[in-house]
Amino acid sequence: MKHICLYFQVHQPFRLRQISFFNITNKVPYFNDASNKQILLKVAKNCYLPTNKLFLELLKQYPFLKLSFSISGTAIDQFKKYAPQVIESFQALLETGSVELLSETNCHSLACVKGKAFFVNEVTAHRHKMKEVFAYEPKVFRNTELIYSNKVGSWVKSLGYEAMLTEGADKVLNGRSPNQLYHHSTDNNLKILLKNYRLSDDIAFRFSNRKWPHWPLTAEKFADWIHQLPDSEEIINLFMDYETFGEHQWKSTGIFEFLEDLPGSILKYKDHTFITPSEAVAKLKSRDSFSALTPISWADEERDLSAWLGNNMQLEAFDFLYALSKKVNRTNNDEMSRIWDYLQTSDHFYYMSTKTLDDGAVHAHFSPYNSPHQAFTNYMHVLMNFEYQLDKLLRR
């Protein structure tokens, strides 16, 4: 039996305003509310609302269809502020009983890099938000950008999760298949689900590429690829950004027709079914241990942390941000804590990447800045202003 696990990441960052060096001592708003609202409403119209509507119809049509999502805290906060109907549409999906929600870091942060205390705070905040908004307690964890290491896995298990998602990185698998259930290198009780990045990226990145040898990709062709996998490969994890549908792959590419046809195309094979991460843990047996001594992720060719912490600008900004944590805590100010949380979002560091070739093009596509240096300069101006405001509060 082949089990197909569909998982989607839902995330939007709070993008920053342009802050001049000459405004470092003035009290100014940090976040570009106009831009954030405009982008959120555009993505809601192109992706979240129509895709959720389509999935709601498909879940009624196909009782065996299962879906899983993780929704960052920053995305939820923007939905509350700009488009509450998106939350309602996710709640409707959850009510079908065929959808699983996963935990992640609240602000889509890189907190795991700075230590367990920072990481636990982020995970705990997201747990509270899931209870508040969805009355839901996730059993499975998905770290920011699928970042995983043995150490992070141990922290996740200590927080009570039964499984974790990460990248099926070739450099860790060493020739093994990502299409089976694994467990933590030293703890059999934490199961690991690995992304099949080739099949996932066929949809997320290559779908509309007319130079791709397999264009156009149909649901029937895709289902046949899965069917041709060896019988021993019992779980195929298709993990991707939810914004793939209607935003990264525009409606005009045929992505919604593909999605509409996908469940039927897969389920026409008697030995194919859909599964959620929790169901995979309950039904499937782990075949082997999975060990990552250094962090891996789903980003770029390296599948490591270099997309966010690969140059001196990123490292300087990252260290400055977390050096402010003690001052933030001492102020005991909810607004300053909220700002500091939003400044942790990984996107801010992604915009500073100086990678070239295909990886660099992807980074530039998602960045609101003209260059990585401009992203760094603006972020540092924000941090300097933020520190100045913290010091003012602490002097009172």
Active site residues: 145
Peptide bond into 13 cis (omega under 30): no
CB neighbours of residue 29 within 10 Å? 10
- Residues 204, 241: Cα–Cα separation, whole Å: 7
Q: Are 133 and 155 in contact (CB under 8 A)?
A: no
Q: Are 89 and 53 in contact (CB under 8 A)?
A: yes
Q: Give the orientation angle of helix 372-395 with respect to helix 312-323, to 10 degrees.
A: 20
> Can you say how many angstroms the Cα of residue 360 is from the centroid of all Cα atoms in its chain?
19
Which residue, among 125, 114, 66, has the nearest Cα to 93 in the 3D structure?
A: 66
**Three-state helix/strand/coil letters over 150-183:** HHHHHHHHHCCCCEEEEECCHHHHCCCCCCCCEE
Q: Is 97 helix (H, G, I), strand (E, B) or coil?
A: coil
Residues 6+ apart with CB under 8 A from 296: 146, 147, 148, 149, 166, 167, 169, 171, 172, 303, 304
Q: Is 148 helix (H, G, I), strand (E, B) or coil?
A: strand
